């Protein structure tokens, strides 16, 4: 569908209005609007504008260290501009508001897809869809469904072929790699060097691994890994 000149002008004026409110007004910053502005710039293919907005968000967060929402938004938009799925995973874990968390999980899924990590991408997009469904956000559900379809997953097959929620089969490729390395005795820092992620991201994945496997320590993880290897080898 073509966009009329009037519509394009309206969108431009609306974005400029939001930019002024977020970055130049004296009132409290709207962190959600900062993320929307960067998403909009990237959707138009305007990476220079997106990077400029991300830098403005970073500076704003620096001037308002007590404003946790702006700090998270600054990380979020950096993850969007850098196409950094690991950072977006961390951001999603920090959001307290369900809609914001769902959006960050969706962004992470798309970024993982851009890295060619199909399993990680599908896992995140399913999580985003489930969260959108829980809060009854229809646009988010429709968007996540379309993104999953593009990844080769159809909604009506999910319940039959979906990845289990618990156990070794529930782990994504990245989680399995981290679980194997941790089980071999490597520290989070050493694992980070092996998988080219930050130590914070490794810790984030490890928390999910522990939860999925029902373990509370690296020793228990190693025991389960050895048991799993013995039964599948």
Segment 110-164, tens digit of pLDDT: 999 998 888 889 889 988 998 888 888 888 898 898 888 888 776 554 444 456 7
Q: What is the pLDDT of residue 18?
A: 54
Measured in whole angstroms, how far is the alpha carbon of residue 36 from the centre of its chain? 15
- pLDDT higher than 90, residue 198: no
- pLDDT higher than 80, residue 60: yes
> Mean pLDDT throughout 21-50?
74
Region of poorest pLDDT, from 5-19, 65-79, 122-136? 5-19
Region of poorest pLDDT, from 28-42, 75-89, 139-153, 156-170? 156-170
The 8-class DSSP code of residue 162 comes to P
Confidence at 77, pLDDT banded by 50, 70, 90: very high
Q: What is the pLDDT of residue 4?
A: 43
CA distance 124 to 226: 28
> Mean pLDDT throughout 48-56?
89
Residues 6 or more apart from 32 whose CB is under 8 A from it?
A: 73, 100
CB 140 within 8 A of CB 102: yes
**Of 35, 37, 34, the residue nearest 22 (C-alpha):** 34
**Of 96, 84, 103, the residue nearest 143 (C-alpha):** 103
Q: What is the mean pLDDT of the chain?
A: 81
CA distance 148 to 150: 5
What is the percentage of the chain residues whose pLDDT exceeds 70?
82
Token duo for residue 58: 């970073």
Q: What is the pLDDT of residue 30?
A: 65
CA distance 58 to 75: 8
* The CATH fold of domain 163-233: Arc Repressor Mutant, subunit A (1.10.10)
């Amino acid at each position: 569908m073509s966009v009329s000149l009037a519509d394009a002008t309206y969108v431009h004026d609306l974005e400029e209005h939001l930019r002024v409110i977020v970055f130049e007004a004296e009132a409290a910053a709207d962190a959600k609007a900062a993320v929307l502005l960067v998403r909009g710039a990237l959707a138009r293919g305007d990476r220079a504008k997106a990077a400029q907005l991300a830098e403005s968000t970073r500076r704003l967060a620096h001037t308002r260290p007590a404003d946790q929402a702006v700090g998270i938004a600054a990380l979020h938009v950096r993850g969007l501009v850098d196409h950094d799925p690991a950072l977006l995973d961390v951001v999603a874990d920090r959001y307290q508001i369900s809609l914001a968390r769902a959006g960050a999980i969706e962004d992470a899924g798309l970024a993982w897809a851009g890295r060619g990590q199909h399993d990680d991408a599908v896992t995140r997009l399913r999580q985003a869809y489930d969260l959108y469904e829980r809060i009854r956000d229809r646009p988010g559900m429709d968007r996540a469904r379309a993104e999953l379809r593009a990844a080769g997953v159809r909604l009506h097959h999910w319940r039959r072929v979906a990845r289990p929620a618990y156990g070794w089969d529930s782990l994504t490729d990245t989680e399995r790699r981290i679980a194997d390395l941790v089980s071999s005795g490597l520290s989070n820092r050493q694992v980070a060097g092996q998988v080219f992620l930050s130590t914070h991201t490794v810790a984030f994945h490890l928390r999910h691994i522990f939860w999925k496997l029902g373990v509370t320590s690296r020793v228990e993880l190693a025991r389960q890994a050895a048991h799993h290897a013995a039964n599948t080898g």
